[in-house]
Structure 1
Amino acid sequence: MGADRVGGVRRPVRAVVYAACGIVLLAGCASMPDRGDLRDVESTPRQDSQLQVFAMPPREDASPAEIVQGFLEALTSDDPQYATARQYLTGDASGDWRPERSTTVLAGGPDIQVDRVTERDSTDNYAFTLTGSKVARVDGEQSYTPMGGHYSQPVHLTRDKKSGQWRIDVLPQGVVMGQSDFQRNYMSVNKYYFASNTWADAAPSATAVADPVFVRRRVDAMTQVVRSLLSGPTKWLEPSVSSSFPAGTALRRGVTSLVPDDQNRLTVPLNEKASGVGREKCREMATQLLFTLQNLTPTVDAVTLQGADGSTLCSFESGRAETVATRGSVKRPDYLYFVDDKQRLVRIADTGTASGAEPVPGALGEGVQKLQSAAVSWDERTAAGVGSDGGSLFVSSLVAGSALDAPVLQSQSQGKAEDDRLTAPSWDARGDLWVADRDPARPRLWVLEQGGGEPLEVKVPGLKGRVDAVRVAADGVRIALVVKADNNSKSLLIGRIERDEKAGERPVVSVLGLRSAAPELEDVTAMSWAGDSRLVVAGREQGGVQTMRYVQVDGSTPEGPPPAALTGVQSIAAAEDDRLPLVASSSEDGIVRLPSGAQWQKVTKDGMAPVYPG
């Protein structure tokens, strides 16, 4: 925690640690590293991600303030079961405390404020209040949710009648720590499940959907992630995905840790719930594991699933997982697309230059219909474009000589402003086309099955404002919406797509569970998916600062540096394959791109609305 607050005054707390000949001596009360030279241990700065930190037990005759501070420091250690933290509690409090229930993240860590002496005439009771500014909460499912507001929780201490030592007997459930400690202790990992709400006849194979969770970074993260995968998807995602692991599947009793062998194969012993699964089902289970584990570490090349009796259910290599399910982040696009100065849809090789730009084959590249924005299907065989007036949506095959048919959708807006008509369209990997009509009188979100036919109006219950931009994830399960409120501010929301299909009727499509993905931005100007659970966003921070950053679908900030600053951002294009450069349209520089490790580079001044497939 790095500091406490006693009587309203912040006071730094440091632990000096010395290790020699296998004997560890401690001056003070805090967390200590398991290796290294004489050093101070503080919670505020980020620490080396490989440095493992262990907690120290309470010292003899520690004061109440030291006990509380030591307990908070112990929460930030890498003690798997918080055994040392429990030494700061009474026996009853330790038995009732459930650290796995939640982790509350505070901006600067909890402050310790003296509350009162519970009994003025007694020296055996003492009370504090932990306070701070809430940033986020990780629940029992390990799911992250941004939060705001004030944190205030009581902590009560009592003096043990036999030993005379102070111990905590009342404390909040779960774990509480500062944001920097959270970043040091926890990491985000994508679990993978299969989309269950796409139109079946459009699905040649299963689609993998990322479900991000946070696990403790250095507390056997691999085993944590496998247990989390087996327990099923988070409640937010559960209605739209399925798992191939039978209900109740868990690690075999007695299995406490999973470690790959020297051939990079991980053996996963399962309980009796997995017994009797067929070979095809086992391959699906193995695919979920491989996608999940490779998101954690690239060193796992294969998995072997075992039944409760130790028999092999199946073995599967990572190279074969793509034959079972697809992921949007795996396919590398052939081209980058944009609208040129003649308002045609053109393309360049993903590593090429603007001098190599060529009109796309078919009607949208011929310039007969002038465009203001476009989207290209994931297989790069079909394109959709919004006409230059923003009122009509066209779909055309990317085949030479293909004709331009009538618009598949027209805005109902009677307003003069183009910004009150259709948004740029977006494709999912199943071939469904999404677009919003910004008609002020009746704003609506639409989806066109396979890019044509009668448009389906999408229900968005709880939406406050109108959809100003839409980008659907490749999996067809999650959708990113820029929503414009009545006060003209624009926020980024992530929704879950659900389809209620009834025999003989068209499905009812809804976007549910809207949640903020960029709570720190009060005016989002552009966004794009940039991975299985990551987006890149341009907008204005509270206070007026323009910025560009990566965000996770759960509202957390991914590790790594943000994109280099760029002014006048109008649109962003990011490939699901993060090896490809980020591309943007700027009011000052035209189309620019950001190769890895470089600065923004101009592609062309005469172009707009760049997009990768999707």
Structure 2
Amino acid sequence: MPDSGDPRDVTSVPRPDAQVRVFALPPAEGASPTQIVQGFLEALTSDDPGYETAREYLTPEAEKTWRPEWSTTVLADGPGTASGRSVLREDTTEYALTLTGTHVATVDEARSYSPAEGAYEEKVRLVRDGEGGEWRIDALPQGVVLGRADFQRNFLSVNKYYLSAADRPVGAGSTARSAEPAAVADPVYVRRRVEPMVEVVTSLLEGPSGLPASVVRSGFPDGTALARGTTSLTPDDEGRLTVTLDDRAAGVDADTCAEMAAQTLFTLRGLTPTVEEVRLRAGGTSLCSLTGDRAETVAARGSAGQPHHLYLVDDEHRVVRIPAGGTTAKPYPVPVPGALGEGSTALRSVAVSRDEDVAAGVGLDGGSLYVSDLESGASIGEPVLVSRGAREEDRLTTPSWDAHGDLWIADQDPDRPRLLLLREGTGAPREVRVAGLEDPVRAVRVAADGVRVALVVGEGEDRSLLIGQIEPAAHPEDPPTVVGLRSAAPQLEEVTAMSWAGDSRLVVVGRGSGGVQQIGYVQVDGSTPETSVPAALTGVREIAATEGEGLPLVAYSEDGIVRLPSGMQWQKVTAGTAPVYPG
């Protein structure tokens, strides 16, 4: 330490968090059956690329048939063991052990995550190895079994990207066709420190894991794989990454290659944001290259867009707006242009199209839906939809606009609960069939990709969050169908509010069993993403977020309209209700 001289500023460079690697230990000589099983389970938590050390705990016959890549079973506190012993002959014995635990989730062979529950029990048999007389595992369940903590340390959720299967059917006179397909996120789990870039590109080439072929497609020719011998993928110092494919990709046209490169670039940026350009090769020649800027013109990503305004309903039941990215602690709300901002029709909720040109509002009693352009002089006209529900809570939900300019809304009338679609907000309401759904829809939000829809369903306080895929209709005049429903927040028994907050992520307000209201993030596959939990806020009735990063969460709570800037606490913004970003 210096003992003289003036104090001087010193630039501090933060150190990145150290990556903890786990190395497996081979079986010890003379280990007991219980020690062999415990050593095997610990080896499953290591970073061995092919679980080589774990295989040393198996007999040669078991090693040949064990397939760790088939599945990953996640248990709450890791696998426990219960043992039993039976004598086969006087000179040898066999041990039978049962792996036990509480099931949390399963990751299948396609790397897709699915929540699970209930008790887990699987048999493991050990015998003495014929050569050295050591105990080895002779029969075991396929796949890998881990505790939740080890799973979170070893595995990483990554979005791989596909393309929307087709533009929505366009009727006569329609101008709502998309200029390019949407990039649709398909989250998968890969091992963090075992060449994750190779693994996620391999998964991308294998095709969608959690999405049906009826709603997404891939630009890659069927059967395309990485070139034989590819063991690593690393961008150069300028962020360029070369991916060499097998001969199935050779000879693709320029447009197809651009889609392939865009899918690859979007996918790899989830692992390495420094990737600036992807170059594809096959058949010994270069196919194409694509930079990040050009990729956005090939496929539209919801997370790439940024809205201009936040919208809400003020105390006079008018639609007003404030700048979405403003830094003023209490910005002054301004009525939107047109009839919805004049207050001639009292409103209780609003939804604004993604281009911010049109808005839809639900009347104060929840019974009528109005649609009007956001421009001076625009009229409101007659309601485009009327609910027959006897009570206010049994009428219309807050509407939602999809990427094609179509309007979605649910009628909660107990005598005829329906999910409805209005083409471009003005067409006749058409009922959308939701395959496998029996409970009424209480809230609806369509993702920016136009492929997924989030639904809050249930009766009374028993309300859950489901994610479905929007399957286009074959005929232009028919509504789409929602298929593949799955729970996105199985840990919550009462979901109060939700909003899309990323390409595959939502922010949810709800309450767990016997718990209090909480705000958190969930993935569309039901897993919990690695992100900080929003600061606590009481009495939240509605919440709004954007798919892109950089804009704060906004909520309607006991304190009125509040927002949560990054790294700060909730701030009161203004009086009012029903805050929404476009969508």
TM-score strictly above 0.5: yes
1:137 and 2:110 equivalent? Answer: no
The equivalent of 1:430 in structure 2 is 404
The equivalent of 2:569 in structure 1 is 599
1:402 and 2:378 equivalent? Answer: yes
Query: Quick one: which amino acid aligns to residue 432 of structure 1?
Result: D
Query: Quick one: which amino acid aligns to residue 182 of structure 1?
Result: F
Q: Matches of 2:535 and 2:90 in 1, distance apart? A: 61
**Structure 1 unaligned spans of 5+:** 1-47
The equivalent of 2:362 in structure 1 is 386
Q: Residue 339 of structure 2 contacts residue 378 of structure 2 at CA under 8 Å; is this kept in 1?
A: yes
Paired residue for 1:312, among 278, 282, 286? 286
Paired residue for 1:462, among 431, 436, 444? 436
Query: Quick one: which amino acid aligns to residue 406 of structure 1?
Result: E
Q: Matches of 2:329 and 2:568 in 1, distance apart? A: 16
The equivalent of 2:174 in structure 1 is none
Query: Quick one: which amino acid aligns to residue 277 of structure 1?
Result: V
Where in structure 2 are the equivalents of 1:108-119 lying within 5 Å?
108-117=77-86, 119=88
**What fraction of aligned residue pairs are identical, expressed as a percent?**
61
SS in 1 for 2:203: helix
Paired residue for 1:158, among 127, 140, 146? 127
The equivalent of 2:217 in structure 1 is 242
The equivalent of 1:221 in structure 2 is 196
User: Alpha-carbon deviations, 1:501-537, whole Å to 9, x = none?
Assistant: 13xx623421111110000000000000000000000
Q: Residue 49 of structure 1 contacts residue 184 of structure 1 at CA under 8 Å; is this kept in 2?
A: no
Higher normalized contact order (CA 8 Å, seq sep 6+, divided by chain length)? 2
Q: Matches of 1:449 and 1:557 in 2, distance apart? A: 34
Paired residue for 1:492, among 456, 465, 476? 465
Q: Matches of 2:470 and 2:95 in 1, distance apart? A: 51
* Pairwise CA distance, 1:379: 0.8
User: Alpha-carbon deviations, 1:256-299, whole Å to 9, x = none?
Assistant: 22111222111111111111100111011101111111122211
Change over 3 Å in CA distance of 1:199–1:462 after alignment to 2: same
Change over 3 Å in CA distance of 1:465–1:122 after alignment to 2: farther
Paired residue for 1:88, among 57, 62, 66? 57
Paired residue for 1:536, among 507, 524, 527? 507
The equivalent of 2:247 in structure 1 is 272
* Pairwise CA distance, 1:312: 0.1
Q: Matches of 1:412 and 1:119 in 2, distance apart? A: 74
Q: Residue 85 of structure 2 contacts residue 94 of structure 2 at CA under 8 Å; is this kept in 1?
A: no
Query: Quick one: which amino acid aligns to residue 403 of structure 2?
Result: A
SS in 1 for 2:153: helix
User: Alpha-carbon deviations, 1:110-151, whole Å to 9, x = none?
Assistant: 001113335385543111100000000000000000000000
The equivalent of 1:284 in structure 2 is 259
* Pairwise CA distance, 1:594: 0.7
Where in structure 2 are the equivalents of 1:474-553 lying within 5 Å?
474-485=448-459, 488-502=461-475, 506-553=477-524
SS in 2 for 1:407: coil
Q: Matches of 2:102 and 2:166 in 1, distance apart? A: 39
* Pairwise CA distance, 1:203: 1.4
Where in structure 2 are the equivalents of 1:250-269 lying within 5 Å?
250-269=225-244
Change over 3 Å in CA distance of 1:519–1:286 after alignment to 2: same
Change over 3 Å in CA distance of 1:168–1:339 after alignment to 2: same
1:208 and 2:179 equivalent? Answer: no
Where in structure 2 are the equivalents of 1:352-367 lying within 5 Å?
352-367=328-343
* Pairwise CA distance, 1:461: 2.2
The equivalent of 2:427 in structure 1 is 453
Q: Residue 538 of structure 1 contacts residue 547 of structure 1 at CA under 8 Å; is this kept in 2?
A: yes
* Pairwise CA distance, 1:454: 1.4
The equivalent of 2:70 in structure 1 is 101
1:333 and 2:307 equivalent? Answer: yes
Change over 3 Å in CA distance of 1:608–1:121 after alignment to 2: farther
1:369 and 2:345 equivalent? Answer: yes
Paired residue for 1:323, among 292, 297, 300? 297
* Pairwise CA distance, 1:200: 5.0
Query: Quick one: which amino acid aligns to residue 329 of structure 1?
Result: S
Paired residue for 2:136, among 160, 167, 170? 167
The equivalent of 2:543 in structure 1 is 572
SS in 2 for 1:396: strand
Q: Residue 332 of structure 1 contacts residue 577 of structure 1 at CA under 8 Å; is this kept in 2?
A: yes
Q: Matches of 1:467 and 1:236 in 2, distance apart? A: 22
SS in 1 for 2:182: strand
SS in 2 for 1:206: coil
* Pairwise CA distance, 1:455: 1.6
SS in 1 for 2:541: strand
Q: Matches of 2:91 and 2:561 in 1, distance apart? A: 72
Q: Residue 330 of structure 2 contacts residue 572 of structure 2 at CA under 8 Å; is this kept in 1?
A: no
Query: Quick one: which amino acid aligns to residue 373 of structure 1?
Result: S
Q: Matches of 2:534 and 2:498 in 1, distance apart? A: 13
Paired residue for 2:96, among 107, 127, 136? 127
Query: Quick one: which amino acid aligns to residue 301 of structure 1?
Result: E
Change over 3 Å in CA distance of 1:118–1:252 after alignment to 2: farther
* Pairwise CA distance, 1:490: 0.4
Q: Matches of 1:514 and 1:228 in 2, distance apart? A: 23
Q: Matches of 1:135 and 1:598 in 2, distance apart? A: 33
Q: Matches of 2:319 and 2:351 in 1, distance apart? A: 9
Q: Matches of 1:320 and 1:141 in 2, distance apart? A: 30
Query: Quick one: which amino acid aligns to residue 544 of structure 1?
Result: G
Q: Matches of 1:488 and 1:603 in 2, distance apart? A: 29
* Pairwise CA distance, 1:198: 3.7
Q: Residue 72 of structure 2 contacts residue 108 of structure 2 at CA under 8 Å; is this kept in 1?
A: yes
* Pairwise CA distance, 1:577: 1.7
Q: Matches of 1:324 and 1:255 in 2, distance apart? A: 27
Q: Matches of 2:18 and 2:199 in 1, distance apart? A: 17
The equivalent of 1:39 in structure 2 is none
SS in 2 for 1:561: coil
Q: Residue 456 of structure 1 contacts residue 509 of structure 1 at CA under 8 Å; is this kept in 2?
A: no
Q: Matches of 1:533 and 1:405 in 2, distance apart? A: 37
Further displaced range: 150-159 or 460-469: 460-469
* Pairwise CA distance, 1:489: 0.5
* Pairwise CA distance, 1:451: 1.5
Query: Quick one: which amino acid aligns to residue 531 of structure 2?
Result: G
User: Alpha-carbon deviations, 1:574-599, whole Å to 9, x = none?
Assistant: 0112211100001x201111111111
Change over 3 Å in CA distance of 1:313–1:197 after alignment to 2: closer
1:412 and 2:388 equivalent? Answer: yes
Q: Residue 348 of structure 1 contacts residue 354 of structure 1 at CA under 8 Å; is this kept in 2?
A: no
Q: Residue 375 of structure 1 contacts residue 385 of structure 1 at CA under 8 Å; is this kept in 2?
A: yes
Query: Quick one: which amino acid aligns to residue 420 of structure 1?
Result: D
The equivalent of 1:584 in structure 2 is 555
Q: Matches of 1:395 and 1:83 in 2, distance apart? A: 62
Q: How many residues align?
A: 559
Q: Matches of 1:544 and 1:480 in 2, distance apart? A: 23
Q: Matches of 1:199 and 1:239 in 2, distance apart? A: 12
Q: Matches of 1:376 and 1:512 in 2, distance apart? A: 26
Q: Matches of 1:354 and 1:612 in 2, distance apart? A: 17
* Pairwise CA distance, 1:239: 2.4
| Aligned Cα root-mean-square deviation (Å) | 1.3
* Pairwise CA distance, 1:164: 1.1
Q: TM-score, normalised by structure 1?
A: 0.89
Query: Quick one: which amino acid aligns to residue 116 of structure 1?
Result: R
Q: Matches of 2:552 and 2:223 in 1, distance apart? A: 43
Query: Quick one: which amino acid aligns to residue 465 of structure 2?
Result: L
SS in 2 for 1:108: coil
The equivalent of 1:55 in structure 2 is 24
